[in-house]
Structure 1
């Protein structure tokens, strides 16, 4: 008989000096998040919060491709095809962890090197210290799979300068590390070759170490943010109240990049595009992250019941034919009533975050 090799945990938990170190450990899946991973992160953060020997927490990703490519959408697809409830349960536990990270009383350092998409933003872009590199690609690609930005994505994008966040959300585009800093999604810039040395230095810190000085010795001023060069036409085109008018503005723009962007949006799920725009506009008016996450949970559960989410995952990830058949297929076919229905209360299934202090203490 051949011995079965032990399976490594999906999240590696380490103590290095005064540092608590969490390593997302699914490198073959670009560290895509599972329910079990989120529960592990939440429980460990709760334990370290009251551990006086832990002065800061670091989040990194295993492998060479990046921190995290988002939630495990293959698992979501299988759950929806089977008519299960695993996805809604996952989200109900995931969003409180996103909030827990945002509220964390100790320094939470997120190493946002490489790919940081969707759920990956939820575990990093709410951190108190967010470090990006020249390899960083950060974004919320949900409209490409018939879904809507969640995990606080509409909170982050809704508060980005001008309409840059709206542009990234509707196009499912990505931003560079330098862009992320200018958009308010990150704080510090680091050459990727220095990441291992910084991680070692953080692990060698003692009770008398100065975290900010340690970070200062490695990080540097970011280069120019390429997205900012397009802000003028982005702000002008995306200031409209409807997705149809935004597309029309882009199509009529003298800027070639703007006209090309119209085609990008028209290839996305019309329902997802319209609901995403409405989510962003509403998020800007909500008072805090808790309220936005509660809104996103409602929208996510309603989106789960629509055909485009399953079809988007099928086309982009399962069959990989990249020819999703959206229903309905045109922006004009998505009614205002259909968009509004995504924000309806869920009744007993409603997620309430404002009363949760330590959701993973048990």
Structure 2
């Protein structure tokens, strides 16, 4: 059972931890914010994992979310507020979040992420690094960071770089929201289960079924993947060495999918597009999730010193005018050499 009693005198716990038979449960309970993560939630999830992993009666752990999202991201408003004046505070949030991503990746028990509804940003970090990732007909998966002057983090560069046919490059650069079939095609989920069957699947696991068997019992076919249908174009275009070449190839192709992709890219921060492509290219050759997270953490420090993250969050979250003024305004004006040289590695978060 999930513990819904308030702790520490609070009235509404944002992370509920419980045990149901053989199944440990971690349930994000901040629906008014689409279960977006703050530092207290990151710490509570970590504590929950410690308790459930050490419990011999628990054979698997399921992550779920209240309402219409698993998790819509991290606490970007806090980072926006503190990034310039107290960058160490913003970096401290990312450090704990990234360590949690690695903790999930190395769990000794199955981690069943129920990506039912919105799963974006920080929610992706809680999901894709686990052993079992389930999508539903309600799944809206995205790494939308290039639209706020940021880049796919939480180990997103590791996961996206390993998607077939450069699908992850398309997802990370466009920031587009995709459904179950495309998430599966990109290797970012393992099976589709109808949302109405989730309770029965969890009950099976609680009663002693393995996670694999429970998923097989309830899974369905996901339908047509738009990414798969355009795999040849995506693979050829997003293998190109820089953003300018990618944009030129999409314009030259002129297909409906190319035009739609171009429209996604043209609204994004030019600096973020250049940085994201660089990080994805670097991630392709990386040996571990930890190496990618360390690189993302170093890039975080660069972002905090720049312009576009603050402008992107202002336009999307604070003023909500959806009209960011990027600096520089064009991909061709981004000083790539200076941008990449500014990424100075920190001591590893995981040593």
Q: TM-score interval w.r.t. the shorter chain?
A: over 0.9
1:64-119 residue CA offsets vs partner (Å, 9 max, x unmatched): x1201010222222222553532211111110110110111101100001110011
Following the alignment from structure 1 to structure 2, what is the Cα–Cα distance between the partners of residues 308 and 340? 16
Cα distance, 1:342 vs. partner? 4.3
- Show the counterpart of 1:191: 194
- Show the counterpart of 1:144: 147
Cα distance, 1:196 vs. partner? 2.7
Following the alignment from structure 1 to structure 2, what is the Cα–Cα distance between the partners of residues 6 and 223? 44
Cα distance, 1:328 vs. partner? 1.1
Following the alignment from structure 1 to structure 2, what is the Cα–Cα distance between the partners of residues 278 and 253? 23
Cα distance, 1:188 vs. partner? 1.1
1:198-237 paired onto structure 2 within 5 Å: 198-203=201-206, 205-206=207-208, 209-237=209-237
**Structure 1 residue 74 corresponds to structure 2 residue 77:** yes
Q: Is the 8 A contact 2:15 2:44 kept in 1?
A: yes
Post-superposition, which runs of at least 4 consecutive aligned residues in structure 1 deviate over 4 A? Answer: none
**Structure 1 residue 40 corresponds to structure 2 residue 37:** no
- Show the counterpart of 1:159: 162
Following the alignment from structure 2 to structure 1, what is the Cα–Cα distance between the partners of residues 73 and 349? 23
RMSD: 1.6
Within the candidate set 82, 106, 111, 1:108 is matched to 111
**Structure 1 residue 247 corresponds to structure 2 residue 274:** no
Following the alignment from structure 2 to structure 1, what is the Cα–Cα distance between the partners of residues 281 and 87? 31
Cα distance, 1:220 vs. partner? 2.2
- Show the counterpart of 1:351: 348
Q: Is the 8 A contact 2:149 2:268 kept in 1?
A: yes
- Show the counterpart of 2:272: 272
Q: Is the 8 A contact 2:185 2:227 kept in 1?
A: no
1:144-168 residue CA offsets vs partner (Å, 9 max, x unmatched): 0000110010111100011211111
Following the alignment from structure 1 to structure 2, what is the Cα–Cα distance between the partners of residues 288 and 61? 28
Within the candidate set 9, 28, 33, 1:29 is matched to 33
Cα distance, 1:334 vs. partner? 0.7
Q: Is the 8 A contact 2:165 2:232 kept in 1?
A: no
Closer, same or farther: CA 255–104 of 1 in aligned 2, 3 Å: same
Following the alignment from structure 1 to structure 2, what is the Cα–Cα distance between the partners of residues 82 and 335? 25
Following the alignment from structure 2 to structure 1, what is the Cα–Cα distance between the partners of residues 281 and 199? 40
Following the alignment from structure 1 to structure 2, what is the Cα–Cα distance between the partners of residues 290 and 309? 24
- Show the counterpart of 1:261: 261
Following the alignment from structure 2 to structure 1, what is the Cα–Cα distance between the partners of residues 66 and 268? 31
1:161-180 paired onto structure 2 within 5 Å: 161-180=164-183
Following the alignment from structure 1 to structure 2, what is the Cα–Cα distance between the partners of residues 60 and 338? 41
- Show the counterpart of 2:53: 49
Q: Is the 8 A contact 1:275 1:342 kept in 2?
A: no
Q: Is the 8 A contact 1:297 1:351 kept in 2?
A: no
Cα distance, 1:233 vs. partner? 1.5
Helix, strand or coil for the counterpart of 2:25? strand
Give the number of equivalent residue pairs: 343
Q: Is the 8 A contact 1:175 1:227 kept in 2?
A: no
TM-score (norm 2): 0.93
Cα distance, 1:6 vs. partner? 4.7
Helix, strand or coil for the counterpart of 2:268? coil
Closer, same or farther: CA 342–41 of 1 in aligned 2, 3 Å: farther
**Structure 1 residue 87 corresponds to structure 2 residue 59:** no
Structure 2 residue ranges without an equivalent (≥5): 1-8
Helix, strand or coil for the counterpart of 2:218? coil
Cα distance, 1:241 vs. partner? 0.4
Helix, strand or coil for the counterpart of 1:221? coil
Following the alignment from structure 1 to structure 2, what is the Cα–Cα distance between the partners of residues 254 and 28? 41
TM-score (norm 1): 0.91
Helix, strand or coil for the counterpart of 2:133? strand
